[in-house]
Structure 1
Amino acid sequence: MNKYHFIAIGGAVMHNLALALLRKGYQVSGSDDEIYEPSRTRLENAKILPPEYGWFPEKITADLDGIILGMHARIDNPELIRAQELGVPVFSFPEFIYNQSQTKKRAVIAGSHGKTSITSMILHVLQDQKMDFDYLVGAQIEGFDLMVRLSDAPVIVIEGDEYLTSPIDRTPKFFHYKHDIALVSGIAWDHFNVFPDFEVYKDQFSKLMDLTTQSGELIYCEVDQLVKEAAEKSSTPGQKTPYNAHPAVIRDGKTFLKTGSGLLEIGIFGDHNLQNLQGALEICRALGVSNEQFYASIPSFKGAAKRQEILASGKSGILFRDFAHAPSKLKATVNAVKNQFPDRKLISVQELHTYSSLNKDFLPNYAHSMEETDVAVIYLNPHAVALKKLDLMDEETLREGFKRPDLMLFTESQALKAYLLAQNYSNTNLLLMSSGNYDNLDLEPLKAKFNSNEA
């Protein structure tokens, strides 16, 4: 029996991979110094929750087939050191995914934004068409109980992240998958703490493109100028396939694709999502899905989790939640909601939560990202700023950075809640954007306000 131990098993992808291997019949163990929900309950239900938190070198034995090392672990982790002493193979999860999928056709979805949405669309279509495939996606998506599947399927679809691979491998994850097909959706500076130089950041995507083999295919969004330049300069001998936003029209707050068979209503909207959809179509084509099959399946796709997610709606107002945090994602989401409902007032709330977004030196990248919204609100938690050892930015600094002189700043969750509950949402949409949760802000009273037809 294959036997693997996870160092830092509590991570989102790590615990999903552990559960996927368990499902495959492997023997799995793990350790971590902290495990939060939902990882904790899921590991407990699978009977592989570590009995106590911490690192235990005695868990590492010579009969292990391998260690799977999470990014959360440190380079001096006692279990990692013990594995190295015993000569037990150590894999990062990208290396392990490749190890398990060398005989499959590997499609990797990369880009600073849109990865999860494009991957989710592809998985939805493949599942709806009853195709056999494996996958790795960076979020829990509807219709899939795990974020990872590893089986005997001939194809694997991988959301490829440019973030660092592991404590002992400081290169981007997406290099390790050795793709047959790569898609690059967009390049916009992110992970400022890891790539403080934008040229170095851009170069990671150029290297990924160059890794496309002669028999492979590079699919890229030519709307993004940086992607277009990198793709056109790429030395890859493989096929290059540019794509643009899928043609569509908006009627009465609904989006319809223009297809050879007429108009087709879909459940998502915005230029960035029409670009994502076209990218998904190109990948599906490369995997043997026909246009007719794609168009038969895509109308039932309701969107990736926390991507323009509708939390509540009334007669003339919708409460949206979105994962957007980087400048390009923020701008795309604001513009999409405003363009979809041009006659409605739009209130947009952005929580600055990541290291990049809280860094004063990175702030100019947010210039004009909230230009299309009628009301611009920023929330940040002084405690989160202090934890990252950064200086707390004041309202004037943020107004200058966002180029939005009427921008409002809240630094207390309850004050933000009181402000939002005091607003009139008649003919008004509210867009909440964050990779966090506004310090556990209770959204139920806001949802009730929309659902009770006050909106």
Structure 2
Amino acid sequence: MKVHFIAIGGSAMHNLAIALSRKGFLVTGSDDEIFEPSKGRLKKEGILPEQIGWNTDFIHADLDAVILGMHAREDNPELAKAKELGLEIFSYPEYIYEQSKNKKRVVIGGSHGKTTITSMILHALQVLDFPVDYMVGAQLEGYDCMVKLTEENDVIILEGDEYLSSPLDRRPKFHLYKPHVALISGIAWDHINVFPTYDNYVEQFNIFCNVIEDEGVLVYNEEDFDTKTVASKQAGRLKTVPYSTPRYEVNTEGTSYFYENNKFPLKIFGAHNLQNLCGAMNVVEALGISPTEFLNAMKDFTGAGKRLEKIRESADRIVYKDFAHSPSKLKATTSAVKEQYPDRKLVACMELHTFSSLKKDFLPQYKDAMKMADKALVYFSPKVVEHKKLDPISKDDVFDAFGKNVVVETETQKVLDFIENESNEAMVLLMMSSGNFDGVDYNSL
């Protein structure tokens, strides 16, 4: 098979390119910019483009498929030539489905917790020697590629992102996978540049449920009202399996999970993480793995990368980083850390970095999102707001939206000064962002 990637340097795209190359496909690709780690990883596999930029010479009649990345524009010259030649053009999720049509497809969806739940499932299956293919949206520790596609594996685990598929295909990615087993972790408005109203956003999850194969399994978080409502519409057509936050006990090592009068020691902590674990347990049960087998396999699981990841710990101070940026994620993460370390001062810093989080109309969604922190800071860069072509926001806008219980800064040094001023001998520092506060080296904290 000969495939060409338009915009091969993307986080998801380069992983798929590597997976197909390892499967024996002849892979070519192009992009107008390729950064690390994509660049080094593509080079190691021998599929890094020799030159940066678009090259229509890559597009020829012998190609079996052209895979179009979200980063490419609709007027891309390679795309124009592919259309002219009548080649098959796929979005990233379309091609994932194409490669998994004959497999049992498991899709993990929801506004939060997708990567964590997917990594929990993969960890357990690896421990239990249960072979699967997979696609995960974030880099996980211990994996050199976040996509695996084989001919022999019967099951594939897919992280179901609700963002758009490609410049030509405006459907959310998770609408294309047609799962046999699906999970929805929760619904909290996100991607408002694409889904302008909350009702419109919720509707995407109704559509997702409707494409689950007949007599399939839908695992859902019954503590989330909208998730429960969406799932209830599938009663009768699907096997619906509710889950909720289980009984657990905090300890110095992490958590003890109680299941059927047995206690299972775990290294993860926080109600939200335990809720995710319960969802993952129900998914693997649909694959024939018992809850006891799953919980025993999870005893060494420490979490997904950048999701409540401990950077450093000393007798006096502990530093965590987390990918949290949406209101629901901030609440869950700050609550988890405060519950785990009730006797420590929790200093929490978050960066408004995504399109939704920097939109003035969306800011009120953050009210009391960091109230569990003893001291809280919110950072944003006016330059990023301008770059995203959004209306300007002020420090007062952010301060008022969060409930007037945060410090707001727009300079990186002021963030570092805040941390220094709040530092004491019994603190835990939590850094939350999908970026890095424009230059903070977390390891140096």
Do these two structures clear the TM 0.5 threshold for a shared fold by scoring above it?
yes
Tell me if the contact between 2:379 and 2:437 (Cα under 8 Å) persists in the aligned partners.
Answer: yes
Provide the rounded CA distance (Å) in 2 between the counterparts of 1:333 and 1:424: 20
Measured against aligned partners, the alpha-carbon deviations of 1:399-445 in whole angstroms (never above 9, x if no partner) come to: 21011x24111111122123323432311111000001111212343
Structure 1 residue runs without a partner (length 5+): 447-455
Query: How far apart are residue 235 of structure 1 and its match?
Result: 6.5
Q: Is the deviation greater in 155-164 or in 42-51?
A: 42-51
Q: Is the deviation greater in 74-83 or in 205-214?
A: 205-214
Name the aligned partner's letter for residue 329 of structure 1: K
Tell me if the contact between 2:187 and 2:224 (Cα under 8 Å) persists in the aligned partners.
Answer: yes
Query: How far apart are residue 79 of structure 1 and its match?
Result: 0.6
1:379-394 equivalences under 5 Å are: 379-394=379-394
1:38-49 equivalences under 5 Å are: 38-49=37-48
Q: Which residue of 1 aligns with 2:171?
A: 171
| Structure 2 residue matching 1:364: 3-state secondary structure | helix
Provide the rounded CA distance (Å) in 1 between the counterparts of 2:275 and 2:261: 20
Name the aligned partner's letter for residue 96 of structure 2: I
Q: Which residue of 2 aligns with 1:277?
A: 277
| Structure 2 residue matching 1:165: 3-state secondary structure | coil
Provide the rounded CA distance (Å) in 2 between the counterparts of 1:292 and 1:443: 37
| Structure 1 residue matching 2:408: 3-state secondary structure | strand
Name the aligned partner's letter for residue 417 of structure 2: A
- 1:78 aligned to 2:77? yes
- 1:431 aligned to 2:440? no
Provide the rounded CA distance (Å) in 1 between the counterparts of 2:147 and 2:257: 30
Q: Which residue of 2 aligns with 1:14?
A: 13
Q: Which residue of 2 aligns with 1:107?
A: 106
Tell me if the contact between 2:253 and 2:267 (Cα under 8 Å) persists in the aligned partners.
Answer: no
Provide the rounded CA distance (Å) in 2 between the counterparts of 1:406 and 1:366: 11
Provide the rounded CA distance (Å) in 1 between the counterparts of 2:327 and 2:421: 28
Q: Which residue of 2 aligns with 1:57?
A: 56
Q: Is the deviation greater in 141-150 or in 232-241?
A: 232-241
Tell me if the contact between 2:9 and 2:34 (Cα under 8 Å) persists in the aligned partners.
Answer: yes
Provide the rounded CA distance (Å) in 2 between the counterparts of 1:437 and 1:194: 25
Tell me if the contact between 2:350 and 2:431 (Cα under 8 Å) persists in the aligned partners.
Answer: yes
Name the aligned partner's letter for residue 270 of structure 1: G
- 1:400 aligned to 2:364? no
Q: Which residue of 2 aligns with 1:207?
A: 207
Tell me if the contact between 1:324 and 1:330 (Cα under 8 Å) persists in the aligned partners.
Answer: yes
Structure 2 residue runs without a partner (length 5+): none
Which consecutive segments of 4 or more residues in structure 1 shift more than 3 A? none
* Percent identity over paired residues: 50
1:208-223 equivalences under 5 Å are: 208-223=208-223
Provide the rounded CA distance (Å) in 1 between the counterparts of 2:160 and 2:306: 19
Query: How far apart are residue 236 of structure 1 and its match?
Result: 6.4
Provide the rounded CA distance (Å) in 2 between the counterparts of 1:443 and 1:95: 37
Tell me if the contact between 1:183 and 1:218 (Cα under 8 Å) persists in the aligned partners.
Answer: yes
Tell me if the contact between 1:106 and 1:158 (Cα under 8 Å) persists in the aligned partners.
Answer: yes
Tell me if the contact between 2:264 and 2:296 (Cα under 8 Å) persists in the aligned partners.
Answer: no
Provide the rounded CA distance (Å) in 2 between the counterparts of 1:231 and 1:406: 36
Provide the rounded CA distance (Å) in 1 between the counterparts of 2:174 and 2:441: 36
Provide the rounded CA distance (Å) in 1 between the counterparts of 2:230 and 2:198: 14
Measured against aligned partners, the alpha-carbon deviations of 1:22-49 in whole angstroms (never above 9, x if no partner) come to: 1111100000011110001111121211
Q: Which residue of 2 aligns with 1:289?
A: 289
Q: Is the deviation greater in 78-87 or in 258-267?
A: 258-267
Query: How far apart are residue 259 of structure 1 and its match?
Result: 2.5
Provide the rounded CA distance (Å) in 2 between the counterparts of 1:196 and 1:264: 43
Tell me if the contact between 2:347 and 2:419 (Cα under 8 Å) persists in the aligned partners.
Answer: no
Query: How far apart are residue 392 of structure 1 and its match?
Result: 3.5
Q: Mark the CA change 1:282 to 1:235 in structure 2 (over 3 Å): closer, same or farther.
A: closer
Q: Which residue of 2 aligns with 1:452?
A: none
1:248-397 equivalences under 5 Å are: 248-252=248-252, 254-260=254-260, 262-397=262-397
Tell me if the contact between 2:234 and 2:240 (Cα under 8 Å) persists in the aligned partners.
Answer: no
Provide the rounded CA distance (Å) in 1 between the counterparts of 2:419 and 2:250: 29
Query: How far apart are residue 144 of structure 1 and its match?
Result: 1.7
- 1:32 aligned to 2:31? yes
Name the aligned partner's letter for residue 25 of structure 1: G
Name the aligned partner's letter for residue 368 of structure 1: D
Q: Which residue of 2 aligns with 1:453?
A: none
Name the aligned partner's letter for residue 333 of structure 1: T
Provide the rounded CA distance (Å) in 1 between the counterparts of 2:211 and 2:204: 11
TM-score normalized with structure 2 length = 0.97
Name the aligned partner's letter for residue 156 of structure 1: I
| Structure 1 residue matching 2:205: 3-state secondary structure | helix
Provide the rounded CA distance (Å) in 2 between the counterparts of 1:436 and 1:201: 24
Measured against aligned partners, the alpha-carbon deviations of 1:167-223 in whole angstroms (never above 9, x if no partner) come to: 111011011111101100000000011111111100000111122233211110001
Q: Is the deviation greater in 110-119 or in 260-269?
A: 260-269
Provide the rounded CA distance (Å) in 1 between the counterparts of 2:259 and 2:314: 31
| Structure 2 residue matching 1:74: 3-state secondary structure | coil
Q: Which residue of 2 aligns with 1:134?
A: 133
> CA RMSD of the aligned region, Å?
1.3
| Structure 1 residue matching 2:165: 3-state secondary structure | strand
| Structure 1 residue matching 2:294: 3-state secondary structure | helix
Query: How far apart are residue 132 of structure 1 and its match?
Result: 1.0
TM-score normalized with structure 1 length = 0.95
Provide the rounded CA distance (Å) in 2 between the counterparts of 1:13 and 1:341: 35
Provide the rounded CA distance (Å) in 1 between the counterparts of 2:297 and 2:38: 31
| Structure 2 residue matching 1:300: 3-state secondary structure | coil
Tell me if the contact between 2:182 and 2:219 (Cα under 8 Å) persists in the aligned partners.
Answer: yes
Provide the rounded CA distance (Å) in 1 between the counterparts of 2:121 and 2:112: 16
Name the aligned partner's letter for residue 173 of structure 1: K
Measured against aligned partners, the alpha-carbon deviations of 1:56-95 in whole angstroms (never above 9, x if no partner) come to: 1121000001001111111111111111111111111111
Provide the rounded CA distance (Å) in 2 between the counterparts of 1:282 and 1:259: 13
Query: How far apart are residue 253 of structure 1 and its match?
Result: 6.3
Q: Which residue of 2 aligns with 1:451?
A: none
- 1:97 aligned to 2:73? no
Q: Mark the CA change 1:83 to 1:235 in structure 2 (over 3 Å): closer, same or farther.
A: farther
Tell me if the contact between 2:181 and 2:217 (Cα under 8 Å) persists in the aligned partners.
Answer: yes
Provide the rounded CA distance (Å) in 2 between the counterparts of 1:103 and 1:370: 45
